Chain A
Amino acid sequence: MPRATIHLPYTVEHLSILDAEGNVDAALDPNLDAALLLKLYRTMLLARRLDERMLALQRQGRIGTFGPIKGQEAAQLGSICVLRDTDWMVPAFREAAALLWRGTRIEDLLLFWAGREEGQAGATERTLPIAVPVATQLPHAVGIAWGARYKHDPAVVMTYFGDGATSEGEFHEALNFAGVMQLPVVFVCQNNQWAISTPRAKQTRAQTLAQKALAYGFPGIQVDGNDILAVYVAAHEAVARARSGDGPTLIECVTYRLSVHTTADDPLRYRDETEVRQWEARDPLLRFTTYLEGRALLDPARRAALEGEVRDEIKTAVERFEAAPPPDPLDMFDHLYAQRPPELSAQRQELAAALSAISHRTAEPAGGKGR
């Protein structure tokens, strides 16, 4: 009974197709058609400009705290674009680009970050609402995938999370369930290097996050997350595998959070700005622009036209957002249960009476009756 080595049938690949300078590995280039590439580019530009606009809106107090996505557009769009409308997306809270791709309206995102549930009411079918508690959405993806299989629905579920989430218990539980049950889930990790102030190196001693899939008995792949072509290829393979019944995949997109964790955060307290400068040189938008120009799909005139288009689209959406009727406070009692229980009816009535009495008092002229 000697000590023996168990040889595991796994390796972890790292995939990179389009480098930071815009050079492409022609052998690996998926040669996506022009229409898809331009739609991806336009959405990436829209997401970037929306991010910038939202920062301004937040600073002006027109929306609340939000989590910018700057730098992570390729990781999101390269993966989400592989899904069909009939597939499911289970987001975390930093996926604005992927949500835009799925058809979420800009004004709905603004409503959400302005503190209004209505913003989550209108997203596309089969796109779950934004989930704030880290990693808690991952078991939902598992349950949806199980439901799809039970109903002989060929849908695939793609779920998003960050590097910090891989330390949470529900990351382990969800990947374990998906592996045991061989469910059609694609786990997309946006490893943006920072969980607020905690760097990737302090989340895990593991060399890659992708290798965590191996313990659950399914493939994990690491890709350059700022390379939209690499993300696309990995996601395409993973979705095909899921759809054909071969189970889940974990994709680690190595990317970087170029902006703040949220607008309530000051990254100067914990990270070196030279690191940010290095990653700015690897900006996914810059290299995708170079690639498209290389394929003669984009030129400065076309870029300027697209900039104008997305600027107008955002402007119109912000106007629609700001024209939304003010929130009805009594509405908060009406959506918790299918049928309002007596407790909530009584509490609703109590608030209605209080609001009415108070507004009546403040409406009275100074020195008026009742004093």
Chain B
Amino acid sequence: MAMMNMVKALNRALHDEMLRDPDVVVLGEDVGVDEGVFRVTEGLLKKFGVQRVLDTPLAEAAIVGMSIGMAIYGLKPVCEIQFAGFCYLDYDQLESHAARIRNRTRGRFHCQMVLRTPYGGGIRAIEHHSESREAIYAHTPGLKMVIPSGPRNARALLLSAIRDPDPVLFFEPAAIYRAFREEVPDEEETLPLGTAQVVQVGGDVTLIAYGAMMRPTVEAAAVLAAEDGVHADVIDLLSLYPMDTDTITASVKKTGRAVVVHEAPRTCGIGAEVVARLVESAFLYLEAPVRRLTGFDIPFPYFAREQAYLPNAARIARAVRETLRF
């Protein structure tokens, strides 16, 4: 066991998987000599050389398009897009090719690749560096969409993502990169994609979140327990597509009430999908409307206003209380 932050844990996963599998290669802007703007690729160039750690020219579409070509050839590329706010340039490659190459060729080719990118607010960044647009990718058939929430699950999920035979979008909450440290086991650990984790069992209400929003959600659950004697089930989705409907359904059948939290805009967001699934799977068990506590339908504000935009523990607790009073 070693204590490490998420950056170290992700770095550990990349390092270990590159050691284990020579087909794993890393590419992106500033991932080699500079070791990544957040240092997630630290030490990889020194260890594995320019044959496996590729500093590319600045071109997001070509980084992803080249990764697709590498995957078609039989490699397992892990590309980094420096911020999720720059992924729009490569979206066409994901939608038109990465997501479709297996289907289009009936399995003659497939696209085993991971796109890693930091996402989300709370880091006082300039415009385009705080977006949370995971719903776009969860809505794109053929992709998988994964978001870890802490060092330990980040390392386990990244290993699983690299080994998954299909393209995986791996969004890393920038606000969590160095926010806290956690015990990460020395031995290898993976987590199956498409499986949520129940991080806390309470029974009175179900809180569903993912990524950077897990921290204020868990904090809100603690506040509710201390101040209201309300004990929440807290679920970390981890995987947004496929999504673990069974785990959220089982909890909501028990509690009858749920609040889903994300920092992304509300309309057509992941919360909408969670609500729809619960309506389909647990309609007769619901005691209150499933509440969405989310970012707003506006572009992510410049950082002077970001704390007002982002859900926090107090607002989550308030939403839960309203749901309980319904």
List chain A positions with a Cβ less than 8 A from chain B. Answer: 90, 117-118, 120-123, 128-129, 131-133, 136-148, 150-151, 169-170, 173-174, 176-177, 180, 335-338, 341-343
Task: Please give me the residue from chain A that is nearest to B62 by CB atom.
Answer: A173
A174 to B109, CA, bound (A): 21
Contact B65 A147 (CB under 8 A): no
What are 13 A-to-B residue pairs whose CB atoms are below 8 Å? A120-B105, A133-B92, A142-B69, A143-B67, A143-B72, A144-B73, A146-B69, A150-B52, A151-B73, A176-B57, A335-B103, A342-B194, A342-B246
Name the distance in Å between B212's Cβ and chain A's nearest Cβ.
25
Among candidates B65, B96, B165, B241, residue contacting A173 with C-beta atoms closer than 8 Å = B65
Q: How far is the CA of A117 from the CA of B61 in the complex (A)?
A: 25
Are B65 and A174 in contact, CB atoms less than 8 angstroms apart? yes
A317 to B194, CA, bound (A): 44
Q: Is B110 an interface residue (CB 8 A)?
A: yes
Instruction: Check A146–B70 contact: CB distance below 8 A.
Output: yes
The contact size tier of chain B is 35 or more
A129 touches B104 (CB 8 A): yes
- Shortest C-beta distance, A350 to chain B (Å), equals 11
**Chain B residues within CB distance 8 Å of chain A:** 25, 51-52, 54, 56-57, 59, 61-62, 64-75, 77, 92-93, 96-97, 101-110, 141-142, 144, 165-166, 194, 241-243, 245-246
Instruction: Indicate if the CB atoms of B108 and A143 lie closer than 8 Å.
Output: no
Whether A129 pairs with B59 at a CB distance below 8 angstroms is no
Q: With a CB–CB cut-off of 8 A, which chain A residues contact B106?
A: 117-118, 120-121, 335
Contact A143 B73 (CB under 8 A): yes
Contact A177 B68, CB 8 Å, known A133-B96, A139-B62, A343-B243: no
Q: In the complex, are the beta carbons of A336 and B65 less than 8 A apart?
A: no
Q: Determine if B245 and A342 form an interchain contact, defined as CB atoms under 8 angstroms apart.
A: yes
Q: How distant is the Cα of A122 from the Cα of B106 in the complex, in angstroms?
A: 9
User: A136 — which chain B residues lie within 8 A by C-beta?
Assistant: 65, 92-93, 96-97
The smallest C-beta distance from A176 to any residue of chain B, in angstroms, reads: 6
Name which residue of chain B comes closest to A340, CB basis: B242
Interchain CB contact under 8 A, A150 and B97:
no
Q: Which residues of A contact B166 (CB under 8 A)?
A: 337-338
Is B242 in contact with A176, judged by CB distance below 8 angstroms?
Answer: no
Report B-chain residues with C-beta under 8 Å of the C-beta of A336: 102-103, 141-142
- Bound complex: CA of A117 vs CA of B107, how far in Å? 10
Chain A contacts for B92, CB-based, 8 A: 133, 136
On whether the beta carbons of A139 and B69 are closer than 8 Å, the reply is: yes
Are B93 and A139 within 8 A (Cβ)? yes
Contact A338 B103 (CB under 8 A): no
Across the interface, A147 reaches (CB within 8 A) one of B69, B194, B241, namely B69
- Report the separation of the CA atoms of residues A128 and B102 in the bound assembly, to the nearest whole angstrom: 11
